[in-house]
Amino acid sequence: MKKLTLFILTTILINPLFSQTWQTRSGGDDFDGNYKIASIQGVGEEFPYNEPAMAFIKWDNQEDYSFYISDAKFLQPNTGIEIILVFDNEPNVFYSVYESTDGKLSLSNDGKTAFLNGFRNSKDRISYSKYEILQKLMTASTVSVRFKDRFGQNDTKFSLSGSTKAINFVLPESELNFLVEKAINVRNEELNKEKKKQEQYENLIKYVDDIKLTDTYKIIFEIQLKRDLGLSLDVYTKSYAEDIDKIFGKANFESSKFYDRGEIKLFYLLKDGTEEEIVKIPSWQVSKDSPFYRDAEDFQQKIVDAKEDAKNKLSKYKFQSVIDLIYKRLELTEGIHKFINLQDVKVLFIKSYGNIVIDKVMIYKKDGTTYESPAYVPTDLKNRDIKEIGAKLGEYY
C-alpha cells in the first residue's frame, strides 16, 4: 500500500497522462517490479479538489488489481465516509462504498487516495465487485463521483472516453470477464444463503406469533432472531443459522411471574439436539390469550388430579392424622408439581422413646427413580394401630 501511494503521488505530479481522455502507461524498476496503469483526470466541483484522478493499476508481483481515486477530497478515517458513483447510462442508480469493517473502502495514510474494492447498488441493494464497476466504466460515457462524510461533500465527474481500450491494456477482456463471472457466482451464492436465512427467519418467527408474544417483546425478538440468523449488520453477534432447528418456549406454571406478567423462557433447539436459551432479562412475555395459559389450566388440573391420586395412595395408612403427616411430608419434599410423577409411597415406622415415629418416606416415581426422604415425624399411633394398618416397625410399608 505504501509503495502504491508513493507511486500515485509521483505520477500525478510529474506525468501529464491524467487528462479528459483515458491514458495508459507501463513501467517499473528492479525493486518494486513492473506495472500497468490506466487513468483519467476528472473535474472537481470546488477548489482545491479540482483535479481528481481515477486509476486502475496492476503490479506484476501482486495478484490483485487496484482501483482508486486520488486528490478528490481529503478523507479522514472515522468520519462516516461514503463514495457514490453514478453512470450517465444508469440515471438515479447509485453505486456506493462505505467506510466500514468490510474492507470495501480503504484510504492512503495521507487521506488523499481512496481504494475502491466493492459497491452496493441503491436499486437492488446487492453488492458489486470492482470488476463489474470496471465493465460499467467501459460502457458509459461519463461517471459522476460524490465524496461524503459528516463534514460535507464534494462532487467530481470523469469522462469515460477511451476507457475500454485503456482498461483492457491493464486487464485483458478475457480475464476481466472471468473475474466478473467469478464475482457474480460468489454474489449469487451469498444471495442464496441470505434467501435461505430469510426463509428460515419467516418460518421461525411464526412460533412467536402462535404463542402470542406481546407486541413489544415480539419486536425485540425479531431483532434478536435476525442477529442470530446473521441477517443483521451486527457483526458482534454469533450466527446460528445453520444450527437452529426450531424455537420453543417454557413456562413455570408454579410461578406468580407467569400468571401476573406472562413471563416465559424461549430456546433454540439446535440440530444436534442441544438447547440454547434465547436470553432476555428479566424474561420474555406472552399476552393473556397465549396458549401457554391454556397449558397452565391443564397443568393445574393435572396437579388437582395428581394430589387426589396421592391421597388415594396414602389411604392404606387408614388414620387421617397419619395420612396428613405423610402428605405434608410429600409436599415439603416434592414440591406441588412433583405429585404428577408420583408412582407410590412407602413409610418406615420406628419406635423412639416410647413413641411411634415416621422415620423415612420412600418416594417412587413413574420414571423408575426413587428418593428416600428423612422425616422423623412423631405420630399418635399405638402398636395396635400399626397392626391395623398392616405395617411392621422397622420395615417399609
List pLDDT tens digits, range 129-142: 999 999 999 999 99
- The residue-averaged pLDDT of 333-346 equals 77
Query: Of all residues in the chain, what percent carry a pLDDT higher than 70?
Result: 90
Q: Where are the alpha helices (DSSP H) in the chain?
A: 2-14, 130-139, 163-170, 173-210, 215-228, 256-261, 291-314, 320-334, 383-389
Closest-CA residue to 142 (of 159, 167, 161) = 159
* The pLDDT of residue 48 is above 80: no
Distances 242 to 266, 270, 281 between C-alpha atoms, Å: 19, 9, 26
The confidence band for 173, taking pLDDT boundaries of 50, 70 and 90, is: very high
Quick check: 5 and 109 in contact, CB under 8 A? yes
* Mean confidence (pLDDT) of the chain: 87
Taking CA 47 as the corner, what is the angle to CA 45 and CA 53, rounded to the nearest 5 degrees?
65
- Distance separating the N- and C-terminal Cα atoms of the chain: 86
- The residue-averaged pLDDT of 18-34 equals 83
* The pLDDT of residue 12 is above 50: no
The confidence band for 13, taking pLDDT boundaries of 50, 70 and 90, is: very low
pLDDT of 67: 95
pLDDT of 14: 37
Distance from C-alpha of 247 to C-alpha of 80, rounded to nearest angstrom: 38
The confidence band for 179, taking pLDDT boundaries of 50, 70 and 90, is: very high
The CB-side HSE value for 214 (13 A sphere, CA atoms) comes to 12
Q: Of 13 and 122, which is predicted with more confidence? A: 122
Least confident of 39-48, 84-93, 109-118, 298-307: 39-48
Calculate Rg over the CA atoms of the chain.
38
Nine cell digits for residue 269: 433447539
Closest-CA residue to 296 (of 360, 250, 229, 231) = 250
pTM, entire model: 0.62
The confidence band for 186, taking pLDDT boundaries of 50, 70 and 90, is: very high
Q: Residue 211 burial (CB < 10 Å; 0-12/13-18/19+)?
A: buried
SS3 state of residue 210? helix
pLDDT of 6: 42
* The pLDDT of residue 293 is above 60: yes
Quick check: 82 and 98 in contact, CB under 8 A? yes
pLDDT of 10: 44
- The residue-averaged pLDDT of 339-347 equals 89
Quick check: 182 and 64 in contact, CB under 8 A? no
Residue type at 105 in one-letter notation = L
Closest-CA residue to 389 (of 359, 342, 356) = 356
Closest-CA residue to 51 (of 164, 157, 167, 161) = 157
The confidence band for 102, taking pLDDT boundaries of 50, 70 and 90, is: confident
The confidence band for 50, taking pLDDT boundaries of 50, 70 and 90, is: low
